[in-house]
Amino acid sequence: MSTQVQTKKVDAGFIEFSLKRVWQATGASEEHANAVSRALMTGIRQGKLNQGLGVYEAIDLTFQAGELDIKAEPEVVGEGDAWAVVDGKRSSGYWTVTKMAELAIAKAKKHGIAIVFGGNHNDAGSYGSYAWMAHEQNMFAQTSNNSVPMASPYGGMANVLSVPPFDAIAPSGNEAPVWTSVKLCEWYDADTAQSVLQGTKVKKDSVIDPQTGELGNDLAPFARPVEGYGRVFDQSCYQNLTDPRLYSLNLWNEALSAIINPLGVIAPEMPTLTDYLSGDADKPSVGGSYYIAIDPSHFGPIGEVLAKADRFTQAVQQAKPLPGKGAPRMPGQKGYYSLKAQTEEVEVLASHWAPFFEKTAAKYGLNEAKLREEYALLTQQEVMA
């Protein structure tokens, strides 16, 4: 088996159309479908191969399990000048967090800083897409959620912790921004899928054998494939957080996303992926989320902020490289410029392509050929208009 990750280069417009079209086929409104396709395309354009077609499976799975209410609309259930709480009503996180971001940005523009909590919603994909909404308006954002329990405490072997995404972005001028876009864990279910499909291993000894406690880097022996999906895999092992700093950040994120969140459900009380697959889940797949927005123009001239950000990036990039290494770069720099360019061609994992078009889309009488036909017709109509 080849350990090289297989990808496909495809038309971005077609992928965006397909994501929106398939989600609408479930009964979603156009606004809801726009939120899903926009967020997924941001991840794809950043070059995040496990976002897009693959991560779409997370909301499809909870929809099929009856835990995602396709007709529900997120609702603001509490707010003040610089804060709010949004109940997702068991909708997708894509729609819920989009509304949270819009609300937090609007409040921060008025008051300088705002935090919006969310809860009772399902997966939201790449949180970079929501941070990007603030960056486009010269603002700072920090945002995340917790998830089903898939990680063990540092030094332990029981999956009671979340495997959250984490995004924080600062304003910038012409240079790449300070942008932290990471996961606060060692691996996701997507890594389990790749271990089976491509023979890849995780980078550290973060796989705990549930019987012996032995550490390793191969998820394949513990993988539990899920029929009809290419990214969503269950697993029987525990996840070892190898770095105490990563462990601390994971716990801190849990405090923000669930413990102080009035709608938050802590990770140990969330259903597992196995529960969703067996029909035993009784909650959406996210326990809680948050979005912090800061408008620096309230505290001084925005031009000075942008200039200072660019000088900082330039200083980082001009640092002398280690022997044999390339010039230092800002984290996420390549993805940032790719996102800014809005290129017509994007890259996706080949292992996500067939399951989306042949399995997921097929549930609604759609397939790649039909979607391409519809997209071509739509494109022709737009040109003629």
Instruction: Determine contact, residues 286/93, Cβ cutoff 8 Å.
Output: yes
At 246, is the secondary structure helix, strand, or coil? helix
Spatial distance between the Cα atoms of 108 and 34, rounded to a whole number of angstroms: 24
Q: What is the pTM of this model?
A: 0.94
Give the per-residue pLDDT at 1.
43
* Sequence-ordered strand ranges (E) for 106-145: 113-119, 140-145
- Residue-wise pLDDT tens digits, 73-107: 999 999 999 999 999 999 999 999 999 999 999 99
- Residue-wise pLDDT tens digits, 107-148: 999 999 999 999 999 999 999 999 999 999 999 999 999 999
DSSP string, 8-31: EEEEHHHHHHHHHHHHHHTT--HH
- Residue-wise pLDDT tens digits, 239-297: 999 999 999 999 999 999 999 999 999 999 999 989 988 889 999 999 999 999 999 99
**38: phi then psi, degrees, rounded to nearest 5:** -65, -50
**What is the rounded (10 degree) CA torsion for 302, 307, 309, 311?**
-170
- Domains delineated in the chain: 1-54+344-385 (1.10.1530.10), 72-185+241-342 (3.30.1370.60)
Q: What is the DSSP letter of 286?
A: B
At 283, is the secondary structure helix, strand, or coil? coil
Mean pLDDT to the nearest integer, 33-38:
96
Structure tokens at 259: 């413990």
Structure tokens at 175: 């240079």
Spatial distance between the Cα atoms of 148 and 284, rounded to a whole number of angstroms: 9
